[in-house]
Amino acid sequence: MIPRYTRPVMEKIWNERNEWQTMLDVEIAACEANAELGRIPKEAVEVIKEKANFDVERIHEIDREINHDIIAFLTNVGEYVGDEAKYIHMGLTSTDVKDTGLNVQIKQASAVLLEDLEKLAEVLKRRAVEFKYTPTIGRTHGVHAEPTTFGLKLLLWYSETLRNIDRMKRAAEEMAVGKLSGAVGTYADIDPYVEEYVCKKMGLAKEVVATQVVQRDHHAEYITTLGVIAGTLAQMALEVRHLQRTEVREAEEYFSPKQKGSSAMPHKRNPVKSERICGMARLIQGYSLPAFEDIPLWHERDISHSSVERVMFPDATIALDYILAQTTDLIDKLLVYPDKMLADLNLTGGLIYSPRVLLALVAKGAYRDTAYRWVQRNAMKRWLQGEDFYENLCKDEDVRKYLNEEEIKACFDYKPMLVHVDEIFARFGL
């Protein structure tokens, strides 16, 4: 991921230094386990722990010559350790170290993402309560439907974020596995105890059965979970973009005093943060397909997945971390205009109360389909000719057989349509 969208906390996880250090930690832990089994002198392990180090540029230099980055890494470590380096990597494959190290990094990244999600949830909860009773028009197909509250919009996103926290926890657990079982997963050259010891030390569960690699269904589930979370963020951002349109402007992104919206048009206040969130969500979701395609590998392994994952996991987690922070800031500072929301709620001259008129007619004994047609014909006069919906209902002979003017007027009130807001919020303890 480019620096523009990389926060320092994720850069520390995915930089090369941490990647190689994580693999070195795996190698040293394997040496400790082999020493306990009597396969390596304990004195040698102490030397390894004291001297083991690496230089990233030196690894690249060796790799350019031998075209194998793990061997280049081990060669460089050996340059620091000396003769005791012969005990490093005993019975292991490159993938034992790489897969286990990668999953440690993913565990680190997952912890950051979970923290991000928790922060977003808190902001959403606070602002949902703030606008709990703020009436606004609900839209279906982009068309005015029935009243809702802005707090309910935010509560919906809060609820989805809580589910995303659960999804993230499950996905993180799914990826928190290690594997040190040799070339085809049979422990032919290594004792299963080494795997158990290393995984425990690295905070991972051991893969119960493997080939040369941890099976990639784990990875596909993880990446698609990130995609679902990104979808939630895009949903929020898209709503803000719609609400910020000039002709709507019921809410908008915070615009700082020194911010500029356009190089050519000084008046512009563009939803750039929301648009960025939507765009980067596509990037994250786009990794789902290669993650699925990484599941089938030739026999006990090939490396067609490797190049994909070197890009996919850093980019997807870095991007999600970035837009989670961006979304939290977006919602935290969102400018909300209740007066405009109320004005827009009344924009159609009461058409949004057509369901209440229909139900009132049915309650008085009118056949539902027939009553629907009566209400609809008067609604269309408002849509097409701009006529007054309420007045036309009062003049409609079929409607007046069942409802008087006072009863019709009583239907033109949004408050009864929102009587269950408290009940919905109570489901969340709010």
51-60 tens-digit pLDDT: 999 999 999 9
Write down the pLDDT at residue 259. 87
In a domain, 325, yes or no: yes
| CATH code at position 361 | 1.10.40.30
Give the count of beta carbons closer than 10 Å to the beta carbon of residue 267: 6
- Residue 222's identity, in one-letter code, is Y
Write down the pLDDT at residue 261. 86
Q: What angle do CA 265, 267, 271 make, to 5 degrees?
A: 95
Q: Are residues 116 and 207 in the same domain?
A: yes
306-336 tens-digit pLDDT: 999 999 999 999 999 999 999 999 999 999 9
Residue 367: give the domain boundaries.
351-411
Q: What angle do CA 100, 105, 111 make, to 5 degrees?
A: 125
Catalytic: which of 89, 94, 110, 141? 141
In a domain, 300, yes or no: yes
Write down the pLDDT at residue 158. 98
Q: Are residues 265 and 168 in the same domain?
A: yes
Single out the residue of 269, 326, 321, 330 nearest to residue 127, CA to CA: 330
Q: Report which secondary-structure segment, H or E, holds 26.
A: helix 16-36
Q: Are residues 287 and 216 in the same domain?
A: yes
Q: CB of 18 within 8 A of CB of 109? A: no
23-75 tens-digit pLDDT: 999 999 999 999 999 999 999 999 999 999 999 999 999 999 999 999 999 99
111-146 tens-digit pLDDT: 999 999 999 999 999 999 999 999 999 999 999 999
Q: CB of 324 within 8 A of CB of 113? A: yes
Write down the pLDDT at residue 13. 98
Q: Are residues 99 and 226 in the same domain?
A: yes
Count of structural domains within the chain: 3
In a domain, 169, yes or no: yes
Write down the pLDDT at residue 12. 98
Token digits of residue 196: 């158990």
Q: Are residues 15 and 66 in the same domain?
A: yes
337-377 tens-digit pLDDT: 999 999 999 999 999 999 999 999 999 999 999 999 999 99
141 annotated active-site: yes
166-183 tens-digit pLDDT: 999 999 999 999 999 999
Cα separation, 29 vs 100, whole angstroms: 12
Single out the residue of 112, 367, 101, 392 nearest to residue 226, CA to CA: 112
At residue 144, the 3 state secondary structure works out as strand
Q: CB of 317 within 8 A of CB of 287? A: no
Write down the pLDDT at residue 141. 97
Q: Report which secondary-structure segment, H or E, holds 426.
A: helix 421-426
Q: Are residues 407 and 363 in the same domain?
A: yes
Q: Are residues 138 and 259 in the same domain?
A: yes
Domain closes at, from 59, 90, 121: 90
Residues 6+ apart with CB under 8 A from 321: 7, 9, 10, 109, 112, 113, 116
Give the CA radius of gyration of the chain.
30
Single out the residue of 306, 315, 288 nearest to residue 109, CA to CA: 315
Q: Are residues 83 and 120 in the same domain?
A: no
What residues are paired with 136 via a beta bridge? 148
Q: Are residues 68 and 32 in the same domain?
A: yes
Which of the residue ranges 252-261, 269-278, 384-393 would you say has the lowest mean pLDDT? 252-261
Average pLDDT over residues 84-91: 96
Q: Calculate what percentage of the chain has a pLDDT beyond 90.
A: 97
In a domain, 422, yes or no: no
In a domain, 429, yes or no: no
The model's pTM is 0.95
At residue 402, the 3 state secondary structure works out as coil
In a domain, 187, yes or no: yes
Catalytic: which of 60, 68, 262, 420? 262
Q: Are residues 165 and 84 in the same domain?
A: no
Cα separation, 382 vs 20, whole angstroms: 69
306 annotated active-site: no
Write down the pLDDT at residue 263. 87
- Residue 82, pLDDT > 90, answer yes
In a domain, 418, yes or no: no
Q: Are residues 403 and 369 in the same domain?
A: yes
| CATH code at position 211 | 1.20.200.10
Write down the pLDDT at residue 219. 97
Q: CB of 89 within 8 A of CB of 101? A: no
Q: Are residues 370 and 338 in the same domain?
A: no
In a domain, 420, yes or no: no
| CATH code at position 29 | 1.10.275.10
pLDDT band at 398 (very low <50, low <70, confident <90, very high): very high
Write down the pLDDT at residue 343. 97
Average pLDDT over residues 374-389: 97
Write down the pLDDT at residue 1. 86
